[in-house]
A = this chain, B = another copy of it.
Amino acid sequence: MSLAADVLSGNRRALARALSVVEGKLDGCFEIMNTLYPHTGNAHIIGVTGAPGTGKSSIVNQLALALRKRGKTVGVVAVDPTSPFTGGAILGDRIRMRDLSGDAGVFIRSMATRGSLGGLAQATANVVRVLDAARFDVILIETVGAGQSEVDIARHALSVLVVEAPGLGDDVQAIKAGILEIADVLVVNKSDDPRASNTVRSLRAMLDLGNLRSVRQMVDHHGRLMEAIPAARELTAEADGWQVPIQQTVATNGTGIDDLVSLLDTHRVYLISSGELERRMQILAASELDTLLRESLIERLLNGVDQVQLAELVERVVTRDLAPQAAVDLLLENRL
């Protein structure tokens, strides 16, 4: 039996091995993904992002526990290198995480963050897809809320939860990083801090001002392939039927977590009934095709080019003998 078939039959050891293969893009990766792909699309994939110090790992932990209590199986994918799930934990976090260990309904996977971040987004997508095919009901992706890589990874989530916390030196940290724009649900964690009401007020003001869009701003990132999708073209124009809610939590004692789970359920229902789910999946597919296409095209081109000639070309650019675009034209026309 193939590794992919073992994954589909619920074999945990096969799951772990398959995840290593797709994460490392090892031999057999494409075969596994091609076999598993038809079995994906069922999990509720939830991205949890936020600046360091907001307590998003604790939120992930509490969400997993709450979902387990409701009988759901949960996969956790930690992309944040500072997450306790990836080993970068402070003691308190590690102790709390024991709540989840030993539960067969939970599978925790942390991504190796070495290598390119573009590759990381792709590897994360594949890991999530394998967990999806392995029939986890909910998959939580934890990323540190900082920059494009997180946006890329969040794109693979159907619901995005952005975690804020009071007292991080700024009223609302994530605004500056452009992370709030991708939020479907905002969480103000550490709400037992007296400054929490300020944080909530700041966020509410921004939502009211219409500065934020719950619709994800992913159109121009992969321009060319997106043009083929009418839904994506209409993205900026579309009136959005979802009001981004702000949920206050205290993850350390579980306050607000049940409400948060309910909000995520509501968001999933909204996604399906509004057609937004279909639209997000189209955009996701186009974006992924674009990434894979670029990868494959450059592989094919460079396979036909001599390494020595390539080094000479780079040197000509370094010495200003040739402008970068002129060098690329030479490569494309095969006139090296």
Query: B148–A311 contact, CB under 8 A?
Result: no
Query: B230–A292 contact, CB under 8 A?
Result: no
Q: Does A273 contact B (CB under 8 A)?
A: no
Q: Does A146 contact B (CB under 8 A)?
A: yes
Q: Does A178 contact B (CB under 8 A)?
A: yes
Q: Does A286 contact B (CB under 8 A)?
A: yes
Q: Does A299 contact B (CB under 8 A)?
A: yes
Which residues 93-113 in A have Cβ within 8 Å of B in the complex?
Answer: 113
Which of A176, A228, A292 has the most CB atoms of chain B within a 10 A radius of its CB? Answer: A228
CA distance in complex: A227, B307 (Å):
8
Q: Does A177 contact B (CB under 8 A)?
A: yes
Which residues 307-325 in A have Cβ within 8 Å of B in the complex?
Answer: 307-308, 310-311, 313-315, 317-318, 320-321, 323-325
CA distance in complex: A222, B327 (Å):
17
Copies in the complex: 2
Query: B292–A324 contact, CB under 8 A?
Result: yes
Query: B170–A285 contact, CB under 8 A?
Result: no
Main secondary structure of the interface of A (DSSP, over half): helix
Query: A228–B307 contact, CB under 8 A?
Result: yes
Q: Does A211 contact B (CB under 8 A)?
A: no
CA distance in complex: A125, B98 (Å):
47
Query: B168–A302 contact, CB under 8 A?
Result: no
Query: A326–B224 contact, CB under 8 A?
Result: no
Query: A285–B318 contact, CB under 8 A?
Result: yes
B residues in contact with A118, CB < 8 Å: 148, 221
Q: Which residues of A approach B to under 8 Å, CB–CB?
A: 30, 33-34, 37-41, 52-53, 81-82, 113-118, 144, 146-150, 167-170, 173, 176-178, 220-225, 227-230, 278, 281-282, 285-286, 288-290, 292-294, 296-302, 307-308, 310-311, 313-315, 317-318, 320-321, 323-329, 331-332
